[in-house]
Amino acid sequence: MNTVYVGSGEFSRDLLHDLLHAGFEVSGVITRPDHPAGRGLRQRPTPVKTTAERAGMRVFQPDGPGDPLFMTALDELRTEIIVVADYGYLLPRSILEYTSAGCLNVHPSLLPRYRGAAPIQRALMQGERMTGVTLMLLDEGMDTGGVIAREELAIEDADNAASLRTRLASLGACLLNETLPLYISGAAAPAPQDETMATYADPIRKSDTIINWTRTAGSIHDQVRALSPRPGAYTRFRGKRAKILRSRPRHDIRGTAPGRLVLDGKEGVIVGAGHGALQIVELQLEGKKAVSAGEFRRGYRLADGDSFMLRSEEEI
């Protein structure tokens, strides 16, 4: 079948990479337009476009699903089925019904849990121990269509957003490869979601990136790994932003004031929290490269009593 792949973000890129590696045939790709990014505001392609072009695939970049180029792309690619992942737009009925097979979506959560834009990050922030991928038939709602198949995945203690995204994409590629023939043959039919179980994964806001050291060490650790490596969980140290990239909760340490630094052994840096403490493993100060806690400790000549200070959102 002529399958058109629609997606933009990093999960969609990883999924496309794994699908192609497994021999899944894709006729062409539809993704979002290039966008200005970085200090020079140079035009940057979506992650999916980069992967597709490296594979020698045709790429179309309409300005959203309302752009006539979207339908033109479907026509030119002689589309028989559409696979969507992490595209960033809701699709109108005209596209959902373009083929008799409809549009299939690979979503990195166990729907109806964590519908929306940031299911991987929000699951980690909430300290979930289990997640997964869902293959669903898209409708006009936000991740509300019928579920065709789902597969669970345990969240590991060492997972951050990047590692969990990679593992979910691999699982999603396997699920799509195994289930698509069954769906096409009629052996796997969409089942309605239980609306009473629905939760939503809102986009990551600037306020989500700011560390509040009065929270528990466990919740701060979940925030750090949910936002690592990008955009990062931030605090402030000696007037500069500091992004905490890797951490470990220390429930055995109590009584240290929130934000206060304690030197542990020759290399360790521990930060007090509202309950327990957080051991810093890796961090990155504004304008600097990422360093280990030991390198940070030596480079800034830390002493017991130094502090990470929580400031207003504007100052962070």
Q: Which residues of the chain does CATH 3.10.25.10 include? A: 206-299
Cα–Cα distance measured from residue 234 to residue 40, given in angstroms and rounded to the nearest whole number: 24
Give the pTM. Answer: 0.95
What local confidence, expressed as pLDDT, does residue 101 receive? 95
pLDDT attached to residue 42 = 82
| Cα gap 168→123, rounded to integer Å | 12
Residue extent(s) of CATH 3.40.50.170 domains in the chain: 3-201
Task: Classify 94 as helix, strand or coil.
Answer: helix
CATH topology of domain 3-201: Rossmann fold (3.40.50)
**Per-residue confidence (pLDDT) for residue 20, from 0 to 100:** 97
Topology, domain 206-299: Methionyl-tRNA Fmet Formyltransferase; Chain A, domain 2 (3.10.25)
- What residues in the chain have per-residue pLDDT under 70? 38-39, 310-316
- CB-CB contact of 84 with 104 (8 Å): yes
CA angle (222, 162, 151) in 5-degree steps: 90
Task: Measure the CA–CA gap between 266 and 170, rounded to whole angstroms.
Answer: 39
Kindly give the residue spans of alpha helices, DSSP state H, lying in the chain: 10-21, 47-54, 68-76, 93-96, 119-125, 161-185, 217-226, 293-299
